[in-house]
């Protein structure tokens, strides 16, 4: 009987040691299931009441402004406010622009890829200039997949450049255009290239230009594209890799110059009749 009792004690001790030992999927430093977290839970009231840091100037250069008495600025943009939010940008419709300020946007849309990009240049009246860039996969999901981006202040001199570009005569060109050679014009079909939407906003003027894959059409707005994409390069390698040609539009410039030299022009695209 004593031997049986001793065996039962030994078996019980072994079982207790086995239960106390960590399992193969759990190290001894991990808390067992159901154990209290070592970190205190957040205060529910503080979550809603605590002050949140305001966005930096680079993230929202026109923030904390009141609409003028004359009303909102003359925003002319094909981009919906909700789409701006998906890209992590303040909607252009909410930006208050004072005299001497300007915003220029470039939306880059490759025809054979869903990896799109948006670049926003901002010139502020205090002498500062900023660039905001976003890139991501804009397809097949309810958000912008793999979105990356940055907001930085630009070097001195960019403010003047942005102001000059916002006042350039190219904004008087047709919003939707095709290159016409002589008396014949062919509407561009973007099958293998990049289409661009360019948007301008100043205190008194809005403007939109859309240019498809045709090199002459893109060449007309090459100066705007070189400035915007040039400011976007060198800050984020995952964005730089989407621009294998950098900000070089020499080929497109040459195509546009050849078009004009040959008597051609950029004319309004034919629009289908309204239903």
Q: Going residue by residue through the chain (275 aa), what tens digit of pLDDT does each one get?
A: 445 444 554 545 444 444 444 444 444 445 565 566 788 888 888 888 888 888 889 999 998 888 777 766 666 788 999 999 999 999 998 899 999 999 999 999 998 899 999 999 999 999 999 999 999 999 888 899 999 999 999 998 999 999 999 999 999 999 998 888 866 655 556 667 899 999 999 988 889 999 988 899 999 999 999 999 999 999 999 999 999 999 999 999 999 999 999 888 888 887 544 43
Residue 179 confidence (pLDDT): 86
Q: Which one-letter DSSP state was computed for residue 41?
A: P
Residue 32 confidence (pLDDT): 60
- Please, are residues 75 and 99 in contact by the beta-carbon 8 Å criterion? no
pTM reported for the whole predicted model: 0.79
Sign of CA dihedral 168, 124, 103, 250: positive
Cα dist from 61 to 46, 56, 189, 263, whole Å: 29, 8, 37, 43
Q: How many CB atoms within 10 Å of residue 126?
A: 10
Residue 17 confidence (pLDDT): 44
Q: Got the DSSP string for 81-131?
A: HHHHHHTT---GGG----TT-EEEEEEEEETT-SEEEEEEEEE-TTS-EEE
| Cα angle 178-180-181, degrees, rounded to a multiple of 5 | 150
Q: How many CB atoms within 10 Å of residue 275?
A: 3
Distance, in Å, from the CA atom of 20 to the CA atom of 243, rounded to the nearest integer, reads: 58
Residue 41 confidence (pLDDT): 84
Q: Which residues contact 122 (CB under 8 A, 6 or more apart)?
A: 61, 62, 101, 102, 103, 129, 130, 131, 132, 162
Residue 124 confidence (pLDDT): 96
- Enumerate the domain spans of the chain: 81-268
Residue 185 confidence (pLDDT): 52
Residue 74 confidence (pLDDT): 65
Q: Which residues contact 194 (CB under 8 A, 6 or more apart)?
A: 108, 109, 110, 111, 213, 218
End-to-end CA distance of the chain: 101
- Please, are residues 147 and 136 in contact by the beta-carbon 8 Å criterion? yes
Residue 236 confidence (pLDDT): 97
Task: Extract the tokens encoding 138.
Answer: 């804009």
Task: Extract the tokens encoding 164.
Answer: 């000059």
Task: Extract the tokens encoding 81.
Answer: 């406010």
Residue 26 confidence (pLDDT): 43
Residue 94 confidence (pLDDT): 87
């Amino acid at each position: 009987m004593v031997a049986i009792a001793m065996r039962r004690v030994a078996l019980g001790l072994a079982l207790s040691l086995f239960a106390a030992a960590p399992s193969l999927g759990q190290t001894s430093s991990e808390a067992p299931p159901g154990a209290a977290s070592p970190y205190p839970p957040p205060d529910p009231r503080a979550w809603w009441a605590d002050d949140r840091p305001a966005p930096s100037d680079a993230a929202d250069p026109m923030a904390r402004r009141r609409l003028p008495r004359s009303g909102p600025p003359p925003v002319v943009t094909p981009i919906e406010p909700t789409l701006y939010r998906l890209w992590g940008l303040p909607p252009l419709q909410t930006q208050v622009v004072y005299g001497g300020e300007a915003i220029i946007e470039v939306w880059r849309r490759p025809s054979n890829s869903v990896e799109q990009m948006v670049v926003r240049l901002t010139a502020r009246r205090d002498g500062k200039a900023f660039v905001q860039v976003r890139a991501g996969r804009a397809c097949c999901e309810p958000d912008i997949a793999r979105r990356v981006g940055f907001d930085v202040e630009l070097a001195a001199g960019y403010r003047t450049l942005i102001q000059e570009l916002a006042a350039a005569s190219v904004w008087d060109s047709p919003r939707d255009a095709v290159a016409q050679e002589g008396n014949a014009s062919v509407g561009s079909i973007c099958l293998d290239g990049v289409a661009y939407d360019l948007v301008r906003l100043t205190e008194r003027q809005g403007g939109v230009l859309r240019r498809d894959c045709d090199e002459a059409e893109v060449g007309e707005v090459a100066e705007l594209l070189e400035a915007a994409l040039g400011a976007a390069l060198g800050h984020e390698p995952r964005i730089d890799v989407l621009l294998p040609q950098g900000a070089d539009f020499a080929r497109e410039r040459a195509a546009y110059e050849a078009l004009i030299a040959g008597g051609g022009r950029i004319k309004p695209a034919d629009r289908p009749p309204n239903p």
